[in-house]
């Protein structure tokens, strides 16, 4: 049986894939690793994967998420949703198009901790977690992510 992932449907059902990276509506996943070194955390970009292949091999989970808030990107044409998964250390960002309510991309991390606030500044989304970290995502190239404390 072939599995076809639908990011918009999952989001409407308050669920997201545990990708530890960025998921796109076309089924691509770009892995993003959070590395801890000398009491600092940094980001390393990993490989590109196919979420449908991962689902068919049962190598990825879909989990329920809780939205903690959203922010209107004003002139950027997006709404940014942010929140947490139900494992305590999970956090997510979902970028929705204001034009048609479709999901442009979603970021989910098992060890980011919940994102409790976000803002859109120019072409960037800044998301703040409960560890006091400030994460920066490029709206148009979300794999360009960094922790910018």
Question: Domain coordinates of the chain in residue numbers?
Answer: 7-147
Q: What percent of the chain has pLDDT over 70?
A: 98
Could you tell me if 96 and 78 are in contact, meaning their C-beta atoms sit under 8 angstroms apart?
yes
Distance CA(127)–CA(125), nearest Å, equals: 6
Distance CA(140)–CA(2), nearest Å, equals: 30
| Adjacent-strand bridge partners of 118 | 127
pLDDT attached to residue 60: 87
What is the three-class DSSP state of 61? coil
What is the three-class DSSP state of 146? strand
Q: Report in angstroms the alpha-carbon separations of 125 from 103, 135, 145.
A: 15, 8, 9
Backbone angles phi, psi at 62, to 5 degrees: -110, 125
Q: Which residue has the tokens 């545990």?
A: 18
| Global confidence as pTM | 0.93
Per-residue pLDDT of the chain (149 residues; tens, 9 = 90+): 456 899 999 999 999 999 999 999 999 999 999 888 887 888 989 999 999 999 888 888 999 999 999 999 988 899 999 999 988 789 999 999 999 999 999 999 998 999 999 999 999 999 999 999 999 999 999 999 999 87
Backbone angles phi, psi at 55, to 5 degrees: -65, -40
Could you tell me if 8 and 16 are in contact, meaning their C-beta atoms sit under 8 angstroms apart?
no
Q: Which CATH class is domain 7-147?
A: mainly beta
pLDDT attached to residue 36: 85
Burial class (CB in 10 A: 0-12, 13-18, 19+), 8: middle
Residue 86 is classified by DSSP as: S
What is the three-class DSSP state of 77? coil
Mean pLDDT of the chain: 92
pLDDT attached to residue 2: 58
């Amino acid at each position: 049986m072939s599995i076809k992932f639908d990011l918009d449907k999952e989001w409407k059902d308050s669920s997201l894939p545990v990708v530890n990276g960025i998921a796109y509506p076309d089924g691509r996943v770009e892995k993003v690793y959070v590395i801890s070194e000398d009491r600092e955390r940094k980001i390393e970009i990993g490989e590109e994967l196919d979420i449908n292949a991962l689902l068919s091999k049962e190598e990825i989970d879909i989990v329920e998420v809780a939205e903690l808030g959203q922010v209107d990107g004003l002139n950027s044409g997006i709404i940014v949703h942010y929140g947490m998964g139900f494992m305590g250390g999970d956090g997510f960002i979902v970028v929705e198009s204001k034009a048609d309510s479709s999901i442009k991309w979603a970021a989910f991390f098992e060890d980011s901790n919940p994102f409790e606030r976000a803002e859109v500044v120019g072409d960037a989304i800044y998301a703040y977690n409960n560890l006091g970290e400030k994460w920066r995502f490029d709206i148009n190239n979300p794999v360009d992510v960094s922790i910018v404390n």
